[in-house]
Amino acid sequence: MKERQYIACRQAEWQAWDDWLASRGKWKPTNSAPAETLAAADLPHRFRRLCHDLSLVRARNYSAAVADDLHRRVLAAHQRIYGSARPGGSVVLRFIAHGFPALVRREWRVVLAAALLLFVPLLGMLIAVQIWPDAAFLLLSAETVGEIEEMYSPGAAHLGRPRAAASEWAMWAFYIANNVRIDFQAFAGGIAFGLGTIFYMVFNGLYIGAVAGHLTQIGFVETFWGFVAGHSASELTGATLAGAAGLKLGMALVAPGRRSRLTALKESAQIAAELLCGAAALTFLAAFIEAFWSPRTGINLTVKLVVGTVGWLLTWAYLLLAGRRSDAP
């Protein structure tokens, strides 16, 4: 069905939604022509049909104006039906509990691409250093190697603590600043048609792999892996999602479809910003764990590895399973 025919077929019901929303102060009607009326009993299946309209318009690549108009109508109707009576603070809670994990699943392609860009170089370099120890020096200077060996030495006074940090709170601030810098580079690199994001994800994967590989190769297994196990899930997942946000921007510029690049970038920027918010939350959580749990030396390595494994399971169970009812368009 052609676009004009489809709009003509569905226009009366869309106008009925406009009138219903306008009567409650949630919408400005597009015209004053008579339309159908929405009964309370009809709202559930009418709303599902409205969501289906939006999905169909996007799938058929109808004009951006029609898709945007429908998208705003769906959001306004959803807010009116499900959320208008709730306090404003619940918007954040709903985003955490439902919206964010559903968004990650909808954007699984860029999330998977970002994960591959980070983890494949990381694991490849880690393995390469076990075979050829000098491979670590392709990325790490002798000074850097000396610093990380000092930080993760079994005899270190404060495990994993950089010289600039004098306390656990200072460590927390240091880790936040470092992780935010990495995430922002991956995100902002998307504006260079995604090339910056690709570079930073691959480079960070290689760098982390070189550090992990070197410390493993020289025998600092208990101190290093015991340190990183607890916060690795939230830190690396946060970095992956920041990279996914950058790739989302890059894809809008490389393949805007029938839209202008500016329009595609504006539409993708909202999704990318939401991904980045989730990445930031995970990054702050990782920094907290890294500062207050990871340096504990009195805890058995097995316990730390179990805690780290549980962290990975919980993180991805949340992203893959939470908010399932929010997956509909």
**All residues at 6 or more sequence positions from 6 whose CB lies less than 8 Å from its CB, including other chains:** 56, 57, 60, 62
Domain boundaries, the chain: 3-85, 98-326
**In Å, how far from its chain's centre is CA 224?**
27
What is residue 219's predicted lDDT score, i.e. its pLDDT?
Answer: 93
Quick one: the chain helix, strand, coil %, rounded to 5? 75, 0, 25
Residue 140's closest CA among 229, 215, 195, 201? Answer: 215
Q: What is the DSSP letter of 326?
A: G
Q: Are 260 and 232 spatial neighbours (Cβ–Cβ below 8 Å)?
A: no
CA distance 55 to 45: 15
Cα-based distances in Å from 328 to 16, 75, 98, 144, 169: 22, 12, 11, 48, 42
H helices of 96-220, where? 100-106, 108-131, 142-151, 168-188, 195-217
Is residue 159 within 8 A of residue 227, CB to CB? The reply is yes
The single-letter code of the amino acid at 146 is G
Torsion of CA 146, 147, 149, 153, to 10 degrees: 130
* Alpha carbons 284 and 297: distance in angstroms, whole number: 22
Find where tokens 């025998």 sit: 219
CA 282 to CA 233: how far, in whole Å?
9
For residues 280 and 242, what is the distance between their CA atoms, to the nearest angstrom?
8
Q: What pLDDT does 69 receive? A: 86
Q: What is the DSSP letter of 97?
A: I
**CA distance between the termini of the chain:** 21
pLDDT tens digits for the chain (329 residues)? 688 888 888 888 888 888 877 875 444 445 544 456 676 667 777 888 888 888 888 888 888 888 888 888 888 888 777 655 454 557 788 888 888 999 999 999 999 999 999 999 999 999 999 999 999 999 999 999 999 998 898 887 777 666 555 677 788 888 888 888 999 999 999 999 999 999 999 999 999 999 999 999 999 999 999 999 999 999 999 999 999 999 999 999 999 988 899 999 998 999 999 999 999 999 999 999 988 898 888 889 999 999 999 999 999 999 999 877 645 44
**What would you measure as the largest C-alpha separation in the chain, in angstroms?**
80
Return the pLDDT at 34: 45
What is the full DSSP assignment across 299-323? Answer: S-HHHHHHHHHHHHHHHHHHHHHTT
Rounded to two decimals, what is the model's pTM? 0.71
pLDDT score, position 1: 67
> How wide is the angle at C-alpha 278 spanned by C-alphas 310 and 295, nearest 5°?
45
